[in-house]
Structure 1
Amino acid sequence: MENILVAGATGTTGKKVVKLLKSSQYFEPIAMVRKEHQKAQFEAQHIETVLGDLENDISHTIVNANKVVFAAGSGGEKVKSVDQEGAIKMIEASQNSNIKKFVMLSSMGAEQPDSNNDLYEYLMAKHNADEFLKSSNLNYTIVRPGSLTNNKGTGKIKLAKSLNEFGNISRDDVAQTLVRSLHDDAVNQSTFEILEGETLIGKALEDI
């Protein structure tokens, strides 16, 4: 069993990632939470937690982890300090702790932030974090979904390095893609976009 630190464990997608990891035969989640009172919801499920705030030093959070899923986000409020600098801090801490794989939840459009004026600041923060991860010495997977929905997952996606189209995808299927990307033989040193589709997630990851 490998220990997976989940940054953003209290978020809507992060909670789904933690749940999938907990039911996995390969992985054990470590839920990173920002506030003491947030621990209880995970501890009630016998899930290990660690306190860490992405705006402060988080080097201690990584100590017991083998791999990382970065699913944290500021919700548009602190995009530079959380989505960009927080991610960079976590990447640096991972490099210093010999983390075996870093799976980043990014966003479609992060490749060319200036193509969307409304989301420019957010996409630029994601872009900078992604580029920092690519230039690190870590094994990584960067997952760039379209607009997230709360629809029930289908277990099927459309996946490509660049899809050249916009659309939706359920948080269920995004979480599933993030967890499957953690495997040693899956999508290493890879960046790709995902939307709702017709290909089983496992098959789509194999094909890339």
Structure 2
Amino acid sequence: MTSESYIFLAGASRGVGREIANCLTAQQLKVKALLRTETAAAELQAIGVKTVLGDAMNVGDVEAAMLTNEPIHTVISTIGGLPTDTEKPDYLANKNLIDAAIKAKVQKFILVTSIGTGNSVGALSPQALAALQSVLVEKDKAEQYLIASGLTYTIIRPGGLKTEPATGNGVLTEDTRIVGSIHRTDVAQLVCRCLNSDRTNNKILSAVDKNMLFGQIEFTQFTLD
């Protein structure tokens, strides 16, 4: 990354996205975030993030935020909806971001989805799958669109998310059978480490806390360097 280029963050108003913003600014990286509310924008400005008001579901908003004379090195998206949402952003919003990222000639696109998406569907219990099915279908469409886009990508699929301080035990694996919990702060730290890891280029990785696995499956941890 050059000192002039930005990391563009979508989904930073809460959850994993907010933790990623904290992680990136702590490293004194230049971050630009697309946000829907003035309140979220003010909170992120306070930690040094450049903010743009807009909705990722709107192509015009995304292009206005990304296609500027400020180069964007990497796009990170944690955008996702709830099973109760009538219009889910998981595919549509991420499609807009991917299309704009191609036009902006970004170097890398990091997409955060969830375990249960795509070929990790078998990791979930039937109950969890039934509850999340409508969202997972949209997340899978987003993953497939990104893979087909020609962009260099990293897809991170976290397990069940908890809002607690980082444990430092978050790990990545290519093993699609793995399922467990992980703290949002640990997911954010893993995502930030993927930024400069060429080993993660064009990889799909599950993220779990190695001490919070569901079931004791032996698996190979993915090393970032």
Normalising to structure 1: TM-score of the pair? 0.88
Moved more, 157-166 or 52-61: 157-166
Counterpart for residue 84 of structure 1: 91
Letter in 2 for 1:62: M
Distance across 1 between alignment mates of 2:172 and 2:194: 13
Q: Deviations over 1:61-106 (max 9, x none)?
A: 2133221110122233437541111111100110111011000001
Matches within 5 A, 1:130-141: 130-141=143-154
Q: Is the 8 A contact 1:84 1:125 kept in 2?
A: yes
Counterpart for residue 112 of structure 2: 105
2:183 is the alignment partner of 1:170:
yes
Deviation of residue 186 (structure 1)?
4.0
Equivalent of 1:20 in 20, 23, 45 = 23
2:58 is the alignment partner of 1:56:
yes
Normalising to structure 2: TM-score of the pair? 0.82
What SS does the aligned partner of 1:69 have?
A: strand
Structure 1 stretches of 5 or more lacking a match? Answer: none
Q: Which has the larger radius of gyration?
A: 2
Letter in 2 for 1:174: V
2:207 is the alignment partner of 1:194:
yes
Cα–Cα, structure 1 residues 204 and 161, in superposed 2: closer, same or farther, change >3 Å?
Answer: closer
Provide the aligned length of Structure 1 versus Structure 2: 202
Distance across 2 between alignment mates of 1:79 and 1:145: 24
2:141 is the alignment partner of 1:128:
yes
Distance across 1 between alignment mates of 2:83 and 2:63: 24
Q: Is the 8 A contact 2:6 2:73 kept in 1?
A: yes
Q: Deviations over 1:112-168 (max 9, x none)?
A: 459622211111111110010011110000000110011221222332212413210
2:108 is the alignment partner of 1:95:
no
Deviation of residue 206 (structure 1)?
2.5
Structure 2 stretches of 5 or more lacking a match? Answer: 212-220
Q: Is the 8 A contact 1:50 1:61 kept in 2?
A: yes
Give me the CA root mean square deviation. 2.1
Identity of aligned residues (%): 28
